[in-house]
Amino acid sequence: MGSHRRLAPSGFDRGAAAALCVMSAAAAALGAAPADAAPHGGTKAEVDRLYQQAEKATEAYDKAGERAHTLRRQINDAQDRIARQQQRVNTMREQLGSVAGAQYRSGGIDPTVALLFADDPADYLDKASTLDRIGAQQAGQLKELRSALRDLSQERAEAAGKLAELEKSRKDVSTHKRAVEKKLAKARQLINSMPAAERAAYERASRGGTRDLPDLTGVVAPDARAAAAVAAARSALGRPYVWGANGPSGFDCSGLMQWSYAHSGIHLPRTSQEQRHAGRRVPLSQAQPGDLVVYRSDASHVGMYVGHGQVIHAPYPGAAVRYDPVGMMPISSVTRP
């Protein structure tokens, strides 16, 4: 890829800027096939539309999956806290029970302690505080037990709420998965319906990521973290787009960004909608290698700027991770993690 020297302050060389100026506003989100063998415009446009919808559903799938993962972790933590709190309650009850045993051996059980064995401990706690025979030590123990039981009840209620939310997230994951699979299956049917020459041209365009590599001579990342992220993204060139995947053998668009930046010690959120807020916004004219370029008004696609007007991204199913012009589709923002 040639030697690497520092970028001009603008982030683009004049050649790249000129190229951006003449880019067609109708540049396809999935890249263009050779002009002499382009697929039928209507069919390709419909395939592109389906892939865009599938990508949006994939982002929703990723978000629901990440939420489910977070909830599972929170539920595990809550279960640990509940177990510890239950042990604390059990210990306190044992201590109060020993008082009951001592009173029984000395001639009877104090009514305040006898209530420990009532069917409704909450009712016991409410009544115990009003009894006039309670001792100071027992009063402190009863107050502490009341607080512990309330904390335990609250923990259980919160855990139950998270379990319900987790179930909803699981259903959301399943719903989005079906939506993605439906869109992809329809797109594949359309591609298969193309005449052989047009289909071959489309497939060649999809595999274009490892051929005709752009000249990035003189490009260098602004710092070590960005350099590590760019190097990781470059190492992924040629690996397949796999919806819902974040490496290392396959990626969706935001999964590639998350995986690449993990190599620099930075944890990005899972979806492109969240990644656009994962740093400082910069103008496109000041883009530097490692910046995240977020596309479309709904932020449903993301790539990594690597210099000279090029991004690396995971385009769509059937296509490998590849280079494409930064202006390949409408840009909504540029973020510097």
Q: Which residues are catalytic?
A: 253, 301, 313
Burial of 276 (0-12, 13-18, 19+ CB in 10 A): buried
Asked if 229 and 292 touch (Cβ cutoff 8 Å), the reply is no
Instruction: Identify residue 244 by its one-letter amino acid code.
Output: G
> Side by side, which strands form the sheet with 301-307?
280-281, 331-336, 292-295, 301-307, 310-313, 322-325
Give the three-class secondary structure for 150.
Answer: helix
| Residue partners of 247: CB distance under 8 A and separation at least 6 | 236, 239, 255, 256, 259
Residues 34 and 43: their CA atoms lie apart, in Å, by 16
Burial of 193 (0-12, 13-18, 19+ CB in 10 A): exposed
Residues 235 and 214: their CA atoms lie apart, in Å, by 15
Residues 1 and 233: their CA atoms lie apart, in Å, by 14
Dig out the tokens for 286 from the structure.
């000041």
Which residues lie across from 222 on neighbouring strands? Answer: none
Asked if 272 and 299 touch (Cβ cutoff 8 Å), the reply is yes
Instruction: Identify residue 122 by its one-letter amino acid code.
Output: A
